[in-house]
Homo-oligomer: A and B are copies of this chain.
Amino acid sequence: MGWRVLRGDDSAELDLRVRYAETDRMGVVYYANYLAWFEMGRSEYCRQRGFNYLDLEELGYHLVVAEVYCKYRKPAKYDDLITVRTSLHALQGRSVVFRYLVLRKETQETLVEGETKHLCTDAQGKAKTIPEPYFTHLSRGLPR
């Protein structure tokens, strides 16, 4: 997985403050918790493209996570202000790939980079094409 810098125009940003609950005994954010931030990032991405991920679920669809990759560069710490920058990396009929940069807001240092691949399914877990108008909403974020 080769990493390239995400361009701001294609991405959606979300700020959050690190919770005490998210730290571990090493004094830094526990490594699994970044995945919850990724999820917040892609929800925000959808919101900025004109829909709620919830709408898709209420229609009976899920974007099930198929793969995750995460590279940890520097730790986030309690009370840090964090920016999660989410962009769309790939979109096909039944699958979508998001990329994430987790930054320390003040310094814009990259702490963590990640990627998630999702498959669109119905409530029974059967693969489905991402329905309209959501496919079109998503595609507006594709890198040009």
Contacts and interface: CB of A to CB of B under 8 A. Distances in A.
Interface of A: 17, 19-21, 23-28, 30-33, 35-36, 39-40, 43, 52-54, 62, 64-72, 78-79
A33 B35 CA distance: 9
A64 B25 CA distance: 12
Contacts of A20: 24-25, 30, 36, 39, 43
B43 A21 contact: no
B31 A35 contact: yes
A36 to B, nearest CB: 4
Contacts of A72: 64-68
A55 to B, nearest CB: 10
Q: For A20, A40, A67, A68, which residue has the most chain B Cβ atoms within 10 angstroms?
A: A20
A126 B66 CA distance: 34
A4 B138 CA distance: 35
A14 to B, nearest CB: 9
A52 B79 contact: yes
26 contacts: A17-B43, A19-B39, A19-B40, A20-B30, A20-B39, A21-B24, A21-B32, A21-B35, A21-B36, A21-B39, A24-B25, A25-B26, A31-B35, A31-B68, A32-B39, A52-B79, A54-B78, A54-B79, A64-B72, A65-B72, A66-B72, A67-B70, A67-B71, A68-B68, A68-B69, A69-B69
